[in-house]
Structure formats: C-alpha cells, structure tokens
C-alpha cells in the first residue's frame, strides 16, 4: 500500500494513533530517529491499542538511511510551506508520505529534495498547522481514495 514516514516524531500519542491508522489502512510506518520517546512508552502503546501486530514498522538512524533503503521510491513531503494542496497530487501505491516533527515540521534540506512534491493541507490564514495524526489521516486516506482503496473492505 502506502508508506507513512514520521521524521523525528516527538509525541508518543500521535505516533501510536498513526500506527493504528497505518494498521487499519494496510500501510507501513517508517520512523526516522531520533524519536522523542522510547518505543516501550506506555502512552505510545496505549494509543496504538492492540493494532501493533498489524502494522509493519521500520526504524532508521537518519533520513539518508531511509532514502538509501528505498532507491527509486516516490516521495511526497507534507509541509505548511508546500505550494500545492495534497489533493492535487496523483498518488500511486507504494508512495512514501513524509511528515515532520510536531513542533517544527520538516527541515529545509529535506524540503529541497523535490520541491514539486512538497504538499500542504489547506487551512484558513493564520492557522499554523494541524495535529500530526490528523494530517497523516487526511493525506493517507486521500491517497487510498485515489487508488480505489485496494485491499480494504
């Protein structure tokens, strides 16, 4: 299906909710270190409920390690700085959807990799950002919608 990437996530409850989302959507979760919590954090585990066995999770020491592990992949970077709204992108199965940390978003060096694939979620002027778990849900389900919800009942 799709690949959700959390670059240096900080809040365990968000990551747990996203893990549960990925499990229900048949998607993989990729975590780029450093993480703002330990993987045995009780808040992380609680937010993911009993969905942990259903989601493939991979960890990477840094962003170059993630890129090197998936040569030829298609990458989309979600940012409030994106020029194109997420729903204007044409998603394909196996795409990587990359989200930044809750307090600062993706760094410029990642956003500069492919500016044409920097996407944003439309919001009213003055709104800084949405919750990370909500953002992932919005974009992941648009990608699934575009591809006909393959494998989902």
Encode the chain in three state secondary structure.
Answer: CCEEEEECCCCHHHHHHHHHHHHHHCCEEEEECCCCCCCCCHHHHHHHCCCHHHCCEEEECCHHHHHHHCCCCCEEEECCCCCEEHHHCCCCCCCEEEECCCCCCCCHHHHCCCHHHEEECCCCCCCCCCCHHHHHHHHHHHHHHHCCCCCCC
Give the pLDDT score at 68. Answer: 98
pLDDT of the residue at 46: 76
Please count the other Cβ atoms lying within 10 Å of the Cβ belonging to residue 129.
17
Q: How does pLDDT run across 30-71, given as a tens digit for each residue?
A: 999 998 887 786 877 776 667 788 899 999 999 999 999 999
58-85: average pLDDT: 96
More confident of the two residues 48 and 91: 91
39-48, 90-99, 115-124, 129-138: least confident range: 39-48
Q: What's the Cα-to-Cα distance from 2 to each of 29, 83, 109, rounded to whole Å?
A: 9, 22, 23
Q: Which residue has the higher pLDDT, 48 or 90?
A: 90
pLDDT in tens, 15-35: 999 999 999 999 999 999 998
Higher pLDDT, 147 or 38: 147
| Confidence (pLDDT) at 39 | 76
Which residue's structure tokens are 């002027």? Answer: 125
102 contacts 11 by C-beta, under 8 angstroms? yes
pLDDT score for 41 = 67
- Average pLDDT of the chain, as a whole number: 93
**34: its two tokens:** 């450093």
- Taken in order of first residue, the domains within the chain and their CATH numbers are 3-146 (3.40.1280.10)
Rounded to an integer, the average pLDDT of 129-144 is 97
Percent of the chain with pLDDT over 90: 80
């Amino acid at each position: 299906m799709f690949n959700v990437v959390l670059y240096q996530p900080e809040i365990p409850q968000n990551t747990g909710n996203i893990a549960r989302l990925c499990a229900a959507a048949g998607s993989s979760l990729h975590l780029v270190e450093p993480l703002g919590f330990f993987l045995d954090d009780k808040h992380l585990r609680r937010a993911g409920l009993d969905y942990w066995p259903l989601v493939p999770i991979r960890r990477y020491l840094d962003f170059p390690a993630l890129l090197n592990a998936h040569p030829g992949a298609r990458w989309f970077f979600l940012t409030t700085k994106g020029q194109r709204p997420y729903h204007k992108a044409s998603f394909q199965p196996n795409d990587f959807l990359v989200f930044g940390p809750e307090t600062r978003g993706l760094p410029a060096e990642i956003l500069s990799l492919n500016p044409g694939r920097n996407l944003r979620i439309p919001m009213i002027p003055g709104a800084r950002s949405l919750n990370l778990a909500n953002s992932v849900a919005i974009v992941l389900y648009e990608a699934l919608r575009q591809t006909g919800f393959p494998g989902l009942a």
